[in-house]
Amino acid sequence: MESIRLDITSFYENNIVNYIESLQEHPLDLFMLILDILIVGYLIVKLFKSIRHTRASQLAQGIVILIVLTYLTRLLHMYISNTILTAVMNWGVLALMIIFQPELRRGLEQLGTNKFSKFFGIDKSIEVKTKENIYRIVIAATELAKTRTGALIVIERDIKLNDIIDSGIILDSEISPQLLVNIFTPRTPLHDGAVVIRDNKIAAASCILPLADDKDIAKELGTRHRAAIGISKETDCVAVVVSEETGKISIAKEGTLIADVKEETLKKILVKYLITIKDIEQEKKERVKRFRKIYKTQTDENDKNEKSRE
C-alpha cells in the first residue's frame, strides 16, 4: 500500500501540480481548458441522454466498468489482469465499430442535417414548429369533422392552464393528427373531455373545462361549445371544437365562437392568433427601418463633429 501512495504522490507532484503552475503563467490556456471541459461535459451529457433507454446504454455501462477495472488493476499492480484488460480495451474499439456499424453510418449520414443538429440542442424556430403543429391540428380537426366525431382542442397561450391540465391525464407527447384522432375516437379512455396543447406538445387529454352560462348563448350549442366559450372567456387560449351532431368545426377566442369554419379559414385564424413572431417581410421592414435610423444618427454625429472642428 505504501508503494501505491508513493505512486499517487509522485503522479500528483510531477503532473497535476506542474500543469496547474503552467496554467497560472498562461491565463489564455486556463480559459481554453475551462472551455474544453465545458464542451466535453456538454457532449457527454447529450450523448448519455441520446442513448438512454437503448441497448447502447447497457454497452456504455459495461465500457465504464471495464475502464475502471483496467485503471484499478494497474494501480494495484495486478499485472496479469491489467494486461488482459488492456488487450480487451485495445481490441474493443475495433469490435465496437463492427457491432455498431449501422448506427455509426447513420450518425455520419445525419452529420449536418436537422436531425443531427437536435443533438446539439439546435432545433427549429418556435415559429416554424408552431406552424407545423397548427397544420397537424387542422388536419386532425378536418378528419374528425368528416366522421362527425366530437372533439375539443384547447391551445394554451400566455395564461397558463395548470388547473385544467391537472384535471386530465398527462401525456406530454408530440402533436400528430393520428394521435389527436385516436384520442377522440368514441368509447376510448380519453375521448371524453378536452385536449390541452402547451409549448407545441399535447400536455394532457380528458381535461375538464368550465362551462359558459351566458344567457345570450344559443341553446342549440352543446357542452363542448359551451366549454370552449367558457375557457376562452376566462383565459387567452384558443379552442377548436368539432361538433358531433353536425360535423362542423368552430373556434372560440376571447369568449366569441366562430362557427362553421372551413379548413383554410381555420388554418389562417390559428396562425393569426398563435404565431406571435413577426413574419419575414415585416421583420425585413423593421430591420431596414433600424438600419436607416442608425445611419441617420451616425451621419448627424459626423456633421456635428465637423462643425465643432470648424
Cα separation, 178 vs 280, whole angstroms: 31
pLDDT in tens, 153-199: 999 998 889 999 999 999 999 999 999 999 999 988 898 899 999 98
* Confidence label for 279 from pLDDT (cuts 50, 70 and 90): very low
Tell me the average pLDDT across 289-308: 62
User: Given this model, what pLDDT does residue 191 score?
Assistant: 87
Tell me the CA distances in angstroms from 64 to 37, 67, 144, 305, one per residue in order: 19, 5, 51, 67
Q: What is the pLDDT of residues 52-61, one digit of tens each?
A: 656 666 677 7
The sheet with strand 249-253 has its strands ordered as 169-174, 201-207, 194-198, 151-155, 238-242, 249-253, 256-258
- For the segment 250-254, the average pLDDT, to the nearest whole number, is 91
Contact 291, 283 (CB under 8 A): no
Count of CA atoms in the C-beta half-sphere (13 A) of 73: 15
Q: Which sequence spans correspond to the domains of the chain?
A: 2-119, 126-274
The reported pLDDT for the residue numbered 300 is 65
203: its cell numbers: 400536455
Predicted local confidence at residue 101, as pLDDT: 67
Residue of 180, 235, 231, 233 lying closest to 204 (CA atoms) = 180
- Residues 238-251 pLDDT 10s: 999 999 988 999 99
DSSP string, 189-205: TT-SSEEEEETTEEEEE
* Helices vs. strands in the chain: H and E counts, helices first: 13, 7
Nearest to residue 125, comparing CAs of 291, 293, 277? 277
Q: Chain-wide mean pLDDT for the chain?
A: 77
CA separation for the pair 251, 158 (Å, rounded): 18
Confidence band, pLDDT 50/70/90 cuts, at residue 280 = very low
With cell 371544437, the residue in question is 241
What CATH class does 126-274 carry?
alpha beta
Question: For residue 143, is pLDDT > 70?
Answer: yes
Q: What is the DSSP-derived secondary structure letter of residue 168? A: S
Q: Decide if 85 contacts 70 (C-beta within 8 A).
A: yes
Measured distance CA(144)–CA(187) in Å, rounded: 15
Structure letter (DSSP) for residue 76: T
At 22, the amino acid letter reads S
User: Taking residues 206-228, what's their average pLDDT?
Assistant: 80
Q: Are 137 and 153 in contact (CB under 8 A)?
A: yes
Calculate the CA 93 to chain-centre distance.
Answer: 33
Cα end-to-end span (Å), the chain = 85
Q: Mind listing the pLDDT tens digit for each residue in 85-127?
A: 888 877 776 776 676 666 666 666 555 554 444 544 444 567 7
Please give the grid coordinates belonging to residue 76: 494495484
Euclidean distance between CA atoms 234 and 212, whole angstroms: 10
Q: What is the pTM of this model?
A: 0.56
